[in-house]
Amino acid sequence: MPPRVEILLQQLGKVDIRLRKSMKLKPSHLDLMIENLIEAGNDIKLIDWEYSANADFRFDLAMFSFKGGLDKSGDELLIKTYYGKNRPELYAELQAMKAVVCFREASWAILQRAISPIQFDYKKYATEHLADFEHYLVGHVV
């Protein structure tokens, strides 16, 4: 476990409080990484639905943005495309949800480090994603 796990969990709790204020549950993929998007002619298909559930739809947007490396203008375009109009107030919410995505990725890596037989530097992956978690908190949550 990270040495500052209690502090990190407190920060995650603040993110949760902030995002719950405007949470809307919708059918969600919950593993929306670039690898799960398949180009099919003029369409894009989503595959790998075993984690899907009704959830905060912003998680999928944040996962797509984070894994796709979108910058501020990319995030603004993502929000506009999703809603069909500009919604500048949602930019900070998306950044806060990116923090949740990063915490999830770090938690997954911590678990994998303990149970996976695969030779991969899960500690580095977790450390990097915890740093990303804290990056997305700055100016958006705490």
Residues 46-74: tens digit of each pLDDT: 999 998 999 999 999 999 999 999 999 99
pLDDT of residue 139: 65
pLDDT of residue 88: 83
pLDDT of residue 2: 79
| Greatest C-alpha distance within the chain | 48
How far is residue 9's CA from residue 89's CA, in Å, rounded to a whole number? Answer: 26
Q: What is the total residue count of the chain?
A: 142
pTM over 0.85: yes
Spatial neighbors of 46 by CB under 8 A, at least 6 apart, are 29, 32, 36, 37, 38
| Phi, psi (degrees; rounded to nearest 5) at 106 | -65, -40
Mean pLDDT of 27-39: 89
Q: Which amino acid is located at 117 in the chain?
A: P
64 versus 1: which is more confidently predicted? 64
**Residue extents of the structural domains in the chain:** 5-137
pLDDT of residue 80: 94
Q: What is the percent of the chain where pLDDT is above 90?
A: 74
Domain covering 5-137, topology:
Aminoglycoside 3'-phosphotransferase; Chain: A, domain 2 (3.90.1200)
Mean pLDDT of the chain: 91
How far is residue 81's CA from residue 125's CA, in Å, rounded to a whole number? Answer: 31
